[in-house]
Amino acid sequence: MNGLGSYRPGASPLHRAHAGAKLVALAAGMVALLRVSTLPGLAVARGVAVAAYAAGRVPPRAALAQVWPLRWFVLLVGAFQVVVAGWERAVLVVGTLVLAVAAAALVTLTTRVAELLDVLERVLSRLPRVNGARVALLAALGIRAVPVIAGLAVQVREAQQARGLRASPRLWAAPLVVRVLRHADSTGEALAARGIDD
């Protein structure tokens, strides 16, 4: 199953569309989504999202993977809304949340990170006293950090299990923080060696 927001190579119309245009469309879609206040309106938004995923030729399984990580959060928010505002409001809030995440994920599924960074760099470089290239690099490092830290967390947990240590957030977090800092140090050195941000 494709991970949340991981780029899927392809040649669909969405893949070929300019990254800037997709970001503008996403922003417009978000504004429109926030204005949806009725269930029929939400149904229309859902139809648009399904059509967009079809245009991006994203298989249903990969599409589901984009919103699956939200399941517990959605259940929690939905239950709270049912209690305080009723089921109709709950469906609207949860539906809006899921569609917003799905829309953002569709952009990253069909757009290379490098293309998104190019847009970010171009836009930010127009602002005074902002180094667009550096901010884009920071964004890239942030995206890259997710699988790296997840991998380090698994390694630390496995090392503790191998030594027969019981699960403890404190015992787990301290070595993880040390390893993350060491990784950050190595990455900084590697970036300097590659002459990036010289």
Partner 1 sequence: MIQLRGVSHRFGERQVLAGLDLTLTEAKVGVVGANGSGKSTFARMLNGLVLPTEGRVLVDGLDTAREGRAVRRRVGFVFTDPDAQIVMPTVAEDVALGLRGRGLSAAEVARRVGEVLERYGLADRADSPAHLLSGGQKQLLALCSVLVTEPAVLVADEPTTLLDLRNARHVVDLLRSLPQQVVLVSHALEALEDFERVLVLDAGRLVADGPPDSALTAYRDLVSS
Closest of 109, 118, 115, 1 to residue 55, by C-alpha: 109
Whole-number minimum distance, CB 19 to partner 1, in Å? Answer: 12
User: Does residue 183 belong to the site contacting partner 1 (CB under 8 A)?
Assistant: yes
Here's the x/- map for partner 1, 129-168, by CB under 8 A: it reads as ----x---x--xx-xx--xx--x-----------------
What three-state secondary structure class fits 7? Answer: coil
Whole-number minimum distance, CB 198 to partner 1, in Å? Answer: 4
Asked if residue 97 lies in contact with residue 74, where contact means CB atoms within 8 angstroms, the answer is: yes
Whole-number minimum distance, CB 8 to partner 1, in Å? Answer: 9
Q: Determine the Cα–Cα distance for residues 119 and 112; give it in Å rounded to an integer.
A: 11
Closest of 24, 23, 43 to residue 33, by C-alpha: 43
Here's the x/- map for partner 1, 61-100, by CB under 8 A: it reads as ----------------------------------------
Q: Determine the Cα–Cα distance for residues 62 and 109; give it in Å rounded to an integer.
A: 9
Q: For partner 1, which is the closer residue by CB, 60 or 151?
A: 151
Which range of residues in 40-48, 55-63, 92-100, 185-193 is near partner 1 by CB under 8 A? Answer: 185-193
Q: What are phi and psi of 12, to 5 degrees?
A: -70, 165
DSSP character at residue 111: S
What three-state secondary structure class fits 182? Answer: helix
- Choice from 61, 71, 112, 122 touching partner 1 (CB under 8 A): 112
User: Does residue 6 belong to the site contacting partner 1 (CB under 8 A)?
Assistant: yes
What three-state secondary structure class fits 46? Answer: helix
Asked if residue 74 lies in contact with residue 113, where contact means CB atoms within 8 angstroms, the answer is: no
Q: For partner 1, which is the closer residue by CB, 167 or 198?
A: 198
Q: Which residues bind partner 1 (CB under 8 A)?
A: 3, 6-7, 9, 112-114, 133, 137, 140-141, 143-144, 147-148, 151, 183, 186-187, 189-196, 198
